[in-house]
């Protein structure tokens, strides 16, 4: 299924994580609007959170790298996140979606309280958009930034 690399697995794992996180947030936060749910989901499944989970689980020790030394190699955040997404895809393929739900219930969803308290979803782009929304004039549509 991988055709010699894990990018297809990363693609599948990312989609599955998005689905499971979306369903969880939809069920457990019934009074929140879709914009806030999107920000929370982004906090849960971004590269930083994925890399942290992968590191906590020691996944980097099982990564096959081009480094010929036998010592553990420090992996970049993106590489760790990709490793976790590939793992999620493999878990889904080898077991089923229920196993992915269980994994995320243990390793991801308990972090939500911390994300909400620290407003971890508030990356610079989100902060800029929120600022623009607060500056809107009564009765007028807000000016949303145009990114180039």
From 79, 85, 39, select the one nearest 60 (Cα to Cα): 79
**DSSP annotation of 72:** P
Whether the per-residue pLDDT at 86 is higher than 60: the answer is yes
Whether the per-residue pLDDT at 23 is higher than 60: the answer is yes
pLDDT digits (tens, 9 = 90+) for 95-139: 999 999 999 999 999 998 888 777 765 667 767 776 776 676 666
- Give the per-residue pLDDT at 33: 85
- Assign 147 a pLDDT band (cuts: 50, 70, 90): confident
Asked if the 7-121 domain carries CATH number 1.10.1520.10, the reply is yes
Burial class of residue 37 (count of CB atoms within 10 Å of its CB; 0-12, 13-18, 19+): middle
Helices (H), 57-147: 77-94, 97-107, 112-118, 124-134
pLDDT digits (tens, 9 = 90+) for 26-41: 999 999 888 888 888 9
Domain spans of the chain, in order of start? 7-121
């Amino acid at each position: 299924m991988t055709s010699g690399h894990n990018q297809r697995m990363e693609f599948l794992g990312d989609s599955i994580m998005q689905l499971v996180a979306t369903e969880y947030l939809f069920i457990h936060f019934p009074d929140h609007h879709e914009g806030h749910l999107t920000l929370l989901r982004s906090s849960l499944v971004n590269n930083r959170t994925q890399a942290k989970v992968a590191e906590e689980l020691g996944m980097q020790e099982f990564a096959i790298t081009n480094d010929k030394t036998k010592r553990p190699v420090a992996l970049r955040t993106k590489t760790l996140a990709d490793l976790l997404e590939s793992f999620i895809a493999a878990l889904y393929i080898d077991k089923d979606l229920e196993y992915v739900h269980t994994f995320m219930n243990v390793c991801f969803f308990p972090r939500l309280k911390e994300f909400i308290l620290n407003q971890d979803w508030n990356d610079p782009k989100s902060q800029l958009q929120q600022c623009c929304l607060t500056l809107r004039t009564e009765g007028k549509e807000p000016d949303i930034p145009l990114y180039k």
